[in-house]
Every structure is written in structure tokens, then in C-alpha cells.
Amino acid sequence: MNITLYNTATRRKEVLDPIDPDNVRMYVCGPTVYDRAHLGNARPVLVFDVLYRLLRHTYGAERVTYVRNFTDVDDKINARAALSGRSITDITAETTQWFLDDMAAIGALQPSIRGRDHERAMPRATAYVGQMIAMISGLIADGYAYENEGHVLFRVRKYEDYGALSGRSVDDMIAGARVEVAPYKEDPMDFVMWKPSDDETPGWDSPWGRGRPGWHIECSAMAADLLGDSFDIHGGGNDLTFPHHENELAQSKCSCGGEFARHWFHSTHLLVNGKKMSKSSGTLYTLSDLADEGWSPMEVRYVLIGANYRKQLNFTMESLHAAREALGRLAKAAKDHAVPGYRELSKGGGLGVFAGAFKRLNEDLNMAAALGELFANLKNTRSLEDWRGFFTVLASLGLTLPEPKGIVIPEKIAKLAECRWKARQNKDWAASDRYRDELAENGWSVKDGREGYEVLPL
């Protein structure tokens, strides 16, 4: 089944057509590590986590590469270090680990290169400064960039397609005062790729003096090094479309000459209680804040994946209560039909009555509709194939349920009961009686109902 995704670059939904189906490649802009991750940071991580799971299910884990970077050189980090008196290295190491721990708690898989090498798939910007300097030097040599007063800037007007990704013209952006005017710029639209550092600021030696990279060049260098000149999906929050992704696209295409990203995929951010998140309004929740209030990571995840990724999500306490109730219903269904190794059922086989839920995920990652299909078909779930589909959909959404408690039905018994049910459906009463007798010999009985059966110990 084809995966269809909305492409920001073309403003339409398109079938994902990988450049190399044996290595489907995705780059996602990761966090700037200076503080705890909040809900706004977590939502795009989970959207891309579900997309990553869908790609792995479709192509195989060993055929998918997912890279997500850490920005560990930034003026916000410098300011935090100056304010706290702590070293930049200490701050970035601590906040990076916070991020990894928080995302793991809400079920986000670690990025990987073909299902392995997780560390390399989560590059730190400071480890790629050499590649950034090389890319900038090449752009200067080709006339796409210039140095002035220790700054290196990209000549925006030399790249004719600038603005196409975000749907803005250069002149409109200038008229709208969306640019920084500075004496070292040839044109107000030109953006910084390298800037000078003073003695108190992190810096690296370069042909233009001691300095540090601009934000946009970081992702261009890391994506080129790890994914090549052309790859399949580039993503992030929709607030990154301009200027970050617009600038990244321009410098990468002028540097490498490749397609860069074939498909641009952006998620929309969220509101909290109908308001934009802020500390002053009391709506800036971190994952640890919610954990302290007694909400489980899966309840938070359920809310964050429960709406269309291209629409604003309003996060409320009521939505958390609804998530708790919904997960409880799913957990009860799993508990009432528990079989040994039930969590392994998603490995292979069909999807049963839940094929429709997976179809929804393939249709522009419609997670809300997939959840709807999950609940709508619970009452129709009878066979092992159906339950395999149930847990496959759960795994693709990254949802885990409490371990089932109560009656545990051995797999042999579950298969006998299923055979008996099929015999009864086919009106093969003799076979049905044989399966019933075999169940009884093993200490089990079956209680039939209108919509299925229940296996019980004698």
C-alpha cells in the first residue's frame, strides 16, 4: 500500500516515491538543547516517530534511515551559560540527556541508520563544524556567499528559487520587514552562515577568523554528510518553514547541486487551554510537570497524536482524562483476550479487521482516524489475525498498554478455541464438538455470545 503525505513544497498530497527503496532517508530538525522539552517540542517528535514507525513497517527497519540533530551551539545556550555560571558543555550534556529521557518515556524510538547506529543518527552540531566550514568555503568559491567583517553571508538573490518552499517572494519579505538590516550585508535578505566570536563565546578557527556557524548551515552540513545530496523526507515544525528550511534548501542546493529533500513534511504546533504556550500564562508544560501531576507518558502521547498533524491541537486537562479512559478501554480489551507473547503478535501475519486503521495511517498519517478505526473494530475482533492487527496498529502508533492481568490463555488453547469458532461459523458441528472436547480435556471451556466467544478455565 502506498504512503501518501502532504508536501509543503508542492502544496498537495503526494505518494511517497523513495529515491532508493532499500534506504529510505529522512532528516528532521531536532532541538536546541538549553532547557527542558515542553509539549510544543514533544508533538513534532511524536508525529515523526509515527511516520518513522510507518516507514519501518512498510520498508523494513534495516531499509530506513532517520536522522535528527541536536543544535548544541546557539546564542540561547550561550545566554543560559552566562546567566547560570555553568559551562556550555555541562548545560548541553544535561539538557540533551533530559530530551532523550523524556522522549523515550513517551515512546519515541531513537533515530537510526538502517535500524542501527543510533548515536551517529543523532548528530551534534559541534561535531560537524569542519563540514560546515568546507560547505561555506565552497559556496564562497562559487559566488553564492561572501565574507564581510568576519561574517559570511549567503547571496539570496543569486538563488532564483528562494521563497518557493514557504510561498514568499523576496520583495514581499523585505516589505514585511522579515529581515535583519546590518552594515555587513550586501542585501537585506542575505543570511548569516558564519559569525565572529568574542573571547566569552564558543568559537572555532576558520578562514574568516575565529567564529561560530549560523543556525541554518548546521542542518545542511549534517544532512549532506549523513544522507547525501538528495534524500526523501525533510521535516520539522511548521514554524521552521521560514526562514530555517528556506535558507537550508537554498544553500544546500547551491552547494551540492542535488535535489536535497524530495518531500517537505511539517507538523503544526499546539495550544494549551486555547492559548499559545508561555510561562506567564501558566501554559508552558514540560513532560516532567505532567508526570508530577500523575499523568502517565502514554496518556500524554495519546493526546499529542490524537489530532491531524497539520492542524492545531488544543491540549487540555480534559483531553488527558479522555486519553486515560481510552487507554483503559484498550487495556481491558487486551486483558480480556490475553495470550502468551501477545506483544509479539505484531510480528508478521495479516491485520484482520484492523486493515482499515493501517490504511488511514498510509493516508497522510491520519493518526486520529486510525485510532477511530481501532475502537470501532474492537467489537469485531475474534481471531488471532484480528488481534495481531490490533497490536500492529498499537505498535505503529507507539502506544503501549499495561501488562494484562487475570486469566492468561495458553496459545494452544486460543488456537483450539478459534478453530472451534470457525467450525461453528461453517456449521461443521462435528468438528466443533471435537474441538470442544479437546478444550475440556485441557481444562478449558468456551462461552459463546452474539459477537464472539470467551475462553474460560473449567
Instruction: Choose among 39, 23, 80, 29: nearest CA to 269.
Output: 39
Sequence-ordered list of residues with C-beta below 8 angstroms from that of 47, at least 6 positions apart, any chain: 267, 305, 309, 365
User: Residue 450 has what pLDDT?
Assistant: 64
Judged against a pLDDT cut of 60, whether residue 177 lies above it is answered with: no
User: Could you read off the pLDDT of 181-202 as tens digits, one per residue?
Assistant: 788 999 999 999 999 999 888 9
Partner residues linked to 260 by β-bridges: 230
User: Could you read off the pLDDT of 328-380 as tens digits, one per residue?
Assistant: 888 888 776 554 444 444 455 578 889 999 999 999 999 999 999 999 998 88
- How many C-beta atoms surround the C-beta of residue 440 within 10 A? 12
Judged against a pLDDT cut of 80, whether residue 111 lies above it is answered with: yes
User: Residue 344 has what pLDDT?
Assistant: 47
Judged against a pLDDT cut of 90, whether residue 106 lies above it is answered with: yes
Residue identified by cell 487475570 is 406
Q: Region 270-279: what's the mean pLDDT? A: 84
CA 423 to chain centre: 44
Judged against a pLDDT cut of 70, whether residue 220 lies above it is answered with: yes
Phi, psi of 442 (to 5 degrees): -95, 5
User: Residue 346 has what pLDDT?
Assistant: 47
- Name which of 225-229, 247-251, 283-287, 452-456 the model is least confident about: 452-456
Angstrom distance (rounded) from CA 121 to CA 74: 20
- Domains of the chain (ranges, CATH numbers): 4-267 (3.40.50.620), 272-397 (no CATH), 411-457 (no CATH)
Q: Tell me the pLDDT of the chain averaged across its residues.
A: 89
User: Residue 333 has what pLDDT?
Assistant: 81
